[in-house]
Amino acid sequence: MDPHLLTTFVTVARHGSFSAAAAELGYTQSAISQQIAALEADLGLALLSRRPVEPTPAGRRLLEHAGPLLLRLRAARADVLRAAAVPRHRLRLAATPLAVNPVLALRLARARAEQPRLEVTLHTCGREEVGAMVAEGEADLGLADGIAAPSDPLRLPDAGPMTAAGVTEEELVVALDAGHPLAGRAALRLADLVDARWLQTPLCPLARLRDLMGDGFPVALDYQGDDVHTVVNLVAAGHGLTLLPASALPACGTAADRPVALGVPLAAPRLVHRVELLHGALPAGPAADLARALSG
Amino acid sequence: MDPHLLTTFVTVARHGSFSAAAAELGYTQSAISQQIAALEADLGLALLSRRPVEPTPAGRRLLEHAGPLLLRLRAARADVLRAAAVPRHRLRLAATPLAVNPVLALRLARARAEQPRLEVTLHTCGREEVGAMVAEGEADLGLADGIAAPSDPLRLPDAGPMTAAGVTEEELVVALDAGHPLAGRAALRLADLVDARWLQTPLCPLARLRDLMGDGFPVALDYQGDDVHTVVNLVAAGHGLTLLPASALPACGTAADRPVALGVPLAAPRLVHRVELLHGALPAGPAADLARALSG
DNA sequence: TATAGTTACGGCTCACGTAACAATT
DNA sequence: AATTGTTACGTGAGCCGTAACTATA
């Protein structure tokens, strides 16, 4: 169970090939073969079937552990080094696309106005990656968004000792096209939308809604990207419903020349769009200042 | 950050001595010295001060990570092996002292009556150790108790992918001696007991109450052991208050010849004594049967 | 001066690379 | 026949033990 062998194992499993893993890790094919053999001998189990190279049931099980385990290992290293590092004035921020809402964008602007020496780099990526970047010290602060009951914390994947605190909560709206039968409503209940046609996007994972409401939420279109602008255009064109924070929809009313997406407030269940600030323990100097500023 | 070096590091830190760690791990003093040097070189930080041997701030930080990390590593190994192992008829149970209440003791008896071939070993230990034993596969099932709001899960320390499900919830009572000024009350509010004299025991950690209610709960006596019988006798003798599940107190009323502990129901906040069943994913065969039986 | 951690050095293990081999398509 | 994983074997890095050294109480 040497982490070294574990890394090799996940790489081989990911590529489905010993040679490809060897190329990526800078070893020879032979070394990879020996490493996998060593891991299998250590556990006394076959972890991969050969030709084609695929994880066995035991291998799949190990894969579920290996990722988080290696992440925590890197996170621990990063955390110890971070605690001893000198505070930098170049801060790296990682955020999910919907996390940088108008409120937080303004707070960030104010903080930068107050501390002109501060250099900020902002990087957009998925939830898991935000968590991983903060845990591994690749980002000083992270902003992750999600759907939760008011004042409830988000259920973020565990990436080791890390602090998460809510910074904004905002009304959730059901986004739909202007011609949709429900467009005129003053408010909607999620229970009434279980059988509507939904847009599947990483921005609003339907699995989360099914957790809350049970089965349903059929997928009309699956959009794999995370671009908010694209999602809004897809909604406007009638590809399906999705949940968005109110501020993610354009403020204007109707437009004659193109389809428009409308937001109808969600009446029940009581849910909000919540953004949480992530950071390793003890954010030092500038990072702590910025964290305070973002918390409002 | 080799786990091997990490284990050496925690052992040295625990003993406060290189030689003692060497003795425990079966190495020479010299090897330990080289291992610590290697770890410090890898991180580029001093982790231990010498003479006396104590962790530096960076070392303390690493210690916070190392324990859970090594536990998860052992847990992952155990989980993979468990999934591939043949189901056994000798089941090992780990439980905290207050977890085996009358209800669960009866359910266990019924299960054993229905499956005569089943051999059960029961081991009592602290919360963390129950979690660790289940995670590492040293126990097939675990029972951990704690204080929580009704239907709320316990906040158990994370020991990797493990399933926890509530099995019983029971009324909490404030245990006090018969001569206590509050002994006559029909019910008590925790808020009124903030300044009372409390018994500190692992069975009812006052830190948990302070989390809920803020500071207070002064310690009259700190009992380091976890024997329920002893705690009840201490309470009866007037050493202080504690919270216990109603079933932990003797059923009888008063006795002339010796001091008696009484239980007064806790009216507010609404809290219960909750027991959760812990198991690794996929409990196989007999373990799954027993888990079902204990869940009622 | 005694105790305890560090450094020097030698031996041995083990992990990797080269290269020949085997198995699958 | 080509591709890809396995096995054999030699080399070199690294880890541990012995022993000499050093620093602290």
Condensed to tens digits (0 to 9), the pLDDT of residues B37-57 reads 999 989 988 899 887 888 988
For residue B66, give the nearest of A140, A161, A130, A4 by alpha carbon.
A161
Domain residues for the domain of A45 are: 3-84
Summarised one tens digit per residue, pLDDT across range A123-168 is 999 888 899 899 888 899 999 999 988 878 887 777 667 888 899 9
- Tokens describing residue A157: 């994947």
- Tokens describing residue B235: 């309470």
- Å: B31 CA to C12 C1': 15
**A254 has a pLDDT exceeding 60:** no
| Contact flag, residue B295 CB and nucleic strand D, below 7 A | no
In this structure, are strands A198-200 and A163-177 parallel, antiparallel, or unpaired?
unpaired
Residue B278 pLDDT:
92
**A6 has a pLDDT exceeding 80:** yes
Same structural domain, B58 and B120? no
Summarised one tens digit per residue, pLDDT across range A28-69 is 998 999 999 999 989 988 899 887 888 988 899 999 899 999
Indicate the residue among B69, B84, B99 that finishes a domain: B84
- Tokens describing residue B227: 């024997």
pLDDT confidence bin for B257, thresholds 50/70/90: low
Residue B225 pLDDT:
83
| Closest chain A residue to B44, measured at CA | A81
Please say whether the beta carbons of B217 and B198 come within 8 A. yes
DSSP string, A204-236: B-HHHHHHHH-S---EEEE--S--HHHHHHHHH
Residue A152 pLDDT:
81
Q: The domain that contains A50 carries what CATH number? A: 1.10.10.10
Q: How far apart are CA A267 and CA A186, in angstroms?
A: 9
Interface residues on A facing B, Cβ-Cβ cutoff 8 A:
1-3, 43-45, 57-58, 61-62, 64-66, 68-69, 72-73, 75-77, 79-81, 83-84, 158, 160-161
Average pLDDT, chain B: 87
**A83 has a pLDDT exceeding 90:** no
Same structural domain, B239 and B144? yes
- Tokens describing residue B104: 């669960």
Average of pLDDT values for B97-103? 90
- Å: B58 CA to C2 C1': 32
Which residues of chain A lie closer than 8 angstroms to B9, CB-CB? none
Q: Do A65 and B158 touch (CB under 8 A)?
A: no
pLDDT confidence bin for B77, thresholds 50/70/90: very high
Please say whether the beta carbons of A246 and A171 come within 8 A. yes
pLDDT confidence bin for A118, thresholds 50/70/90: confident
**B267 has a pLDDT exceeding 90:** no
Of A43, A80, A84, the CB nearest to B80: A43
Same structural domain, A59 and A113? no
For residue B53, give the nearest of B21, B29, B20, B17 by alpha carbon.
B17
Same structural domain, A73 and A134? no
Summarised one tens digit per residue, pLDDT across range B182-237 is 888 888 898 888 888 898 898 888 888 888 788 888 888 888 888 888 988 888 88
Q: How far apart are CA A59 and CA A110, in angstroms?
A: 50
Q: Do B66 and A76 touch (CB under 8 A)?
A: yes
Indicate the residue among A41, A61, A84 that finishes a domain: A84
Phi, psi of B99, deg, nearest 5: -75, -30
In this structure, are strands B198-200 and B219-222 parallel, antiparallel, or unpaired?
parallel
Same structural domain, B61 and B120? no
**A226 has a pLDDT exceeding 60:** yes
The pTM of the full predicted model, rounded to 2 decimals, is 0.79
